[in-house]
Amino acid sequence: MNPRLRWKTQAFAAIVILSNAFGNLSLTWGLRNGVGELTSPLSFLRAIFSPWVSLGICLLITWMLSRMFLLSWADLSYVLPVTAFGYVLNAVLGRVFLGEQVTPARWAGTLLIMAGVVLVGLGNPKTGDST
């Protein structure tokens, strides 16, 4: 495969994974600390403009755009499993920063996801015209 395309794909996949995981962490942290329950449109608006939630939204916008760019050359059926490594990162961040319980089943799931990501990541991100 073209080395330039491989490098570009790996760089964008890394941006997609990191911006999503840290965006979700920041959003969750903000929503659980000082925002209150989301019961009305006004409470959603108030939450959106709190600092941690705002940071989370900026990171998630970065995630959305970088993923959109990645999809301009890589197949959806390639992008989905490769960026699924973000689920592992989310579990780790949830454990470290939010004190969530990570059971043996969740660690086993983490290993399975990593195996799947490696398997798909070794292949070609674009298999032909797919419009």
Q: Binding residues for other proteins, per CB under 8 A?
A: 24-25, 27-28, 31-32, 37-38, 44, 47, 60, 64-65, 67-69, 71-73, 75-81, 84, 86-87, 90-91, 93-95, 98, 100-103, 105-106, 108-117, 119-120, 122-123, 127-131
- The amino acid sitting at 9 is T
3-state helix, strand, coil in the chain (%, to 5): 75, 0, 25
In sequence order, what are the residues at sequence separation of 6 or more whose Cβ sits closer than 8 angstroms to the Cβ of residue 15?
62, 63, 66
Q: Which is nearer to other proteins, 19 or 28 (CB)?
A: 28
Shortest distance in whole angstroms from residue 77 CB to other proteins: 4
With respect to other proteins, which residue has the nearer C-beta, 55 or 71?
A: 71
* d(C-alpha 111, C-alpha 31), whole Å: 29
Considering the complex, state which of residue 18 and residue 120 has its C-beta at the smaller distance from other proteins: 120
Give the residue carrying structure tokens 């454990």.
95
- φ, ψ dihedrals at 26, nearest 5°: -60, -40
Nearer to other proteins, 18 or 71 (CB): 71
